[in-house]
Structure 1
Amino acid sequence: MRESDDRASEDDDWYRQARRETEVERLDRNWSDLVQELRVVQTGVQFLIGALLILPFQAPFGELSQPLRLLYLATVGAAIGATVFLVAPVSWHRILFRRHRLDSVVAAAHRCALAGVALLGLALTGAVILVVAVVAGTAEGVFAGAVVAALFLAIWVVAPWRWRRASMRVDR
């Protein structure tokens, strides 16, 4: 914990020097950046939920096997969970508005965004498995889901963490 506190202090110093930002200006910029990121993600999540919610009302849905129905429910759950987490920062901001708690809002919003993106990855993976399983077969669906999950992990998690670790070594 102490190392992360030291790192946060170094980051604060860097922002003060390089950007000439006060703490409040940095929080405002962080909040603005996060809201922009959430706008990009929320549209995709809303579309995904809309598409998933109409599926049970289609005649062929009744032909899905029990495992695919369970996967469907898990996928809908992940998509709704993603929505909850990706919209949560708005609620935090509204409830804490004018309470001088922007630091809390930004920290909570950051965590919510990470959880929302993780759930979105699960929902999209489930959706790919469902579509490919219905069109080409269960084995093909599982394979496609594994490929998509690996792609999400590589692009959304591994690559940024590697760049983050590399930048930490360079900064020292």
Structure 2
Amino acid sequence: MLMLGAQVLLGFQFQAPFQDAFGQLSQTEKTLELLLLVIMTVVIGLLIAPSAHHRIVYDGRATASLDRFVAQMSELTLAPFSTALALNLAIAASRTVGITSAWITGIASCAFTTLLWYAPALANKGGKPVTTSDDKTPLEAKIDYVLTEARVILPGAQAMLGFQLAIVLTSGFVQLPSQVKTIHGFALGLIAISTVLLITPATYHRLVYAGNNEPSFHRLASRLLLSASIFLALGLAADTYVVALKISENSRIAVSLALIALVVLAALWIVWPWLLRRKTEREHA
């Protein structure tokens, strides 16, 4: 649910600059939109990081260390997501009821989400998670995990694809230079490929493996999931350039934010888990 909400909110950040009334925003509000674009990209990176670690570092096993990692990523994700939600609500409030109400709305949103999301977690710090040891994760559970992870990412990728398709029908998109439109088309294709790859494991499990749990299917599904995340990262980075250029009208800022997005996502989804895997392999060598 958090993934879908985050992807929809990121999709809004991508689509907002192409709305007709976006030009009426103040420079401060436009700067906030750039900040929100960065924040939501980081949120998406943190949300998908557990899946990448589960595939690369743990090979689909359920372990105590993975459980702790998922909890840590959840804690890290909620704060920026709460901030982004509060800022978006504040901008909406400033457009409807004025700047004073915008401040009140933003502060109230932060307080409300902090109370609901962090207070119970802090109160339950002493709880012990129930986990499975490294050598007791059955193949059936591993396959269930990889299919679940694909289902977690898929709705967000589909939402992003929908937002990207809707952008091409806006008047703001028509005004973009042809090379920028080409980059958006490239990003659109990358997200579409990611969506197809995320659907493929369930399709293969039904049609190719007849629902049977085989080690070869687990390996294939893991590779498809990791491949989908690579295409998703490239697509998000490419469209970050398009959106940042539309907001700032500054190519240097747009390129910088696109590179930041690509580096952050690649680090969280590829580099970090592979480094951890290499470290683990050396320790057990």
**What amino acid is aligned across from residue 48 of structure 1 in structure 2?**
M
* Residue 251 (structure 2) aligned to one of 115, 122, 138: 138
Where does 1:2-151 land on structure 2 (aligned, <5 Å)? 21=136, 26-98=138-210, 100=212, 102-136=214-248, 137-151=250-264
Q: Which whole-Å CA distance do the structure 1 matches of 2:205 and 2:212 have between them?
A: 11
> Which blocks of at least 5 consecutive residues in structure 1 are unaligned?
1-10, 12-17
- Relative distance call for 1:99 and 1:132 in structure 2 (3 A) is closer
> Sequence identity of aligned pairs in percent?
23
- Relative distance call for 1:64 and 1:32 in structure 2 (3 A) is same
**What amino acid is aligned across from residue 189 of structure 2 in structure 1?**
G
**What amino acid is aligned across from residue 217 of structure 2 in structure 1?**
V
Which is helix-richer, 1 or 2?
1
Shift of 1:111: 1.3
- Does 2:278 correspond to 1:165? yes
TM-score normalised by structure 2 residue count: 0.51
3-state secondary structure, aligned to 1:64: coil
**What amino acid is aligned across from residue 88 of structure 1 in structure 2?**
T
Query: Is the contact between residue 96 and residue 105 of structure 1 (CA under 8 Å) also seen in structure 2?
Result: no
Residues 20-42 of structure 1, C-alpha deviations (whole Å, 9 max, x = no match): 64xxx722111111112112211
Structure 1 match to 2:5: none
Larger RCO (CA within 8 A; separation ≥ 6): 2
3-state secondary structure, aligned to 1:57: coil
Moved more, 148-157 or 74-83: 148-157
- Relative distance call for 1:20 and 1:149 in structure 2 (3 A) is closer
Shift of 1:138: 2.1
Query: Is the contact between residue 244 and residue 253 of structure 2 (CA under 8 Å) also seen in structure 1?
Result: yes
Q: Which whole-Å CA distance do the structure 2 matches of 1:155 and 1:19 have between them?
A: 23
- Relative distance call for 1:32 and 1:60 in structure 2 (3 A) is same
Shift of 1:147: 0.8
Q: Which whole-Å CA distance do the structure 2 matches of 1:170 and 1:34 have between them?
A: 26
TM-score normalised by structure 1 residue count: 0.82
